[in-house]
Amino acid sequence: MAGHSKWSNIKHRKSAQDSKKSKIASKLVKEIKVAVQEGGIVAENNAKLRIALKKAKIANLSKKIIEKILQKNQNKENYLHRYLYSVYAPEGVVLLVNIISDNIKRSLPALRYFLHKRGLNLGEQGENKHLFSPKVYIYLSPIPKKEIEKILMIFAKEEAEDFEEKEDGIKIWGAYNLFGKWQKLVEKQGWSFKEYTMVYRPLHFIEIEEEKRKKVLNLVLQLEILDDVHAVYHSVK
């Protein structure tokens, strides 16, 4: 029985890992599609596409899948669109849910059902967007500790607005219009990154008790598992 239990645990872990990889791949495919729709198929002229392709490479997304996405004719009927919806989480925390979908009438019922089971409601599209500001966000990692101060000085000259040091690197935020400029800088310097994307950052953060904070962050993680949810932004400090 012990062997059977161990085998069951292994299969369960593998299933969870496969599911996670599938979710990541799905989000990357959508990110590449949207980048092509918004900026064209020529990567040299499209910073969002360059970043999306770099992420796909890091995640070991199949080259065949990437080539198929890039070569496929973009039908207006199959266009992916971005949507921002508000969710009022406990403790007065506002969530901004970024949906990327080709059919919002399919996406919204799944999101509403998820929230309804947790006693939460979905706001209107664009509601509370004014409480957030679009930013370019980079998580450079791994970065040696001795290099951090030098890198921060470089980004200070490149109009960085905020940063946060982590054990394995640095998180940096700046105005959204710096996306392409910073991408070229990162590429030129050869820095590795975990994340490079556009985010909505709250104008004001809310401090809540640690246990309640964990519950809100867990809600964010669960929301991001949903198929058409690309990212969730929140005001928790």
Q: Final residue of a domain: which of 20, 47, 77?
A: 77
Q: Final residue of a domain: which of 56, 77, 98?
A: 77
34 contacts 100 by C-beta, under 8 angstroms? yes
- What's the pLDDT at 14? 47
CA dihedral 195, 201, 204, 206 (to 10 degrees): -50
Whether 138 and 211 map to the same domain: the answer is yes
Whether 138 and 168 map to the same domain: the answer is yes
- Average pLDDT per run of 10 along the chain, which is 237 residues long? 53 50 80 87 86 84 83 66 91 92 92 94 90 94 91 95 93 93 92 91 92 93 92 92
Q: For tokens 């796909």, what's the residue?
A: 56
Whether 61 and 88 map to the same domain: the answer is no
Whether 97 and 168 map to the same domain: the answer is yes
- What's the pLDDT at 230? 92
Question: DSSP secondary structure string, 36-70?
Answer: HHHH-S-GGG-HHHHHHHHHHHHTT--HHHHHHHH
Whether 57 and 158 map to the same domain: the answer is no
83 contacts 104 by C-beta, under 8 angstroms? yes
Whether 96 and 198 map to the same domain: the answer is yes
Whether 93 and 53 map to the same domain: the answer is no
Q: Taking the chain, what is the end-to-end CA distance rounded to the nearest angstrom?
A: 46
Question: DSSP secondary structure string, 97-160?
Answer: EEEEES-HHHHHHHHHHHHHTTT--EEEETTTGGGEEEEEEEEE-S--HHHHHHHHHHHHHTTE
Whether 88 and 11 map to the same domain: the answer is no
* CATH number of the domain bearing residue 106: 3.30.70.980
Number of domains in the chain: 2
pTM above 0.85, yes or no: no
- What's the pLDDT at 25? 81
Q: How far is CA 127 from CA 47, 83, 118, 123, 137, in A?
A: 28, 11, 20, 7, 23
Q: Final residue of a domain: which of 77, 97, 123?
A: 77
Distance CA(172)–CA(122), nearest Å, equals 30
Whether 25 and 89 map to the same domain: the answer is no
Whether 108 and 14 map to the same domain: the answer is no
Whether 102 and 45 map to the same domain: the answer is no
Closest Cα to residue 33, out of 95, 3, 1, 76? Answer: 76
Whether 72 and 85 map to the same domain: the answer is no
* CATH number of the domain bearing residue 43: 1.10.10.200
- Show the domain range for 7: 2-77
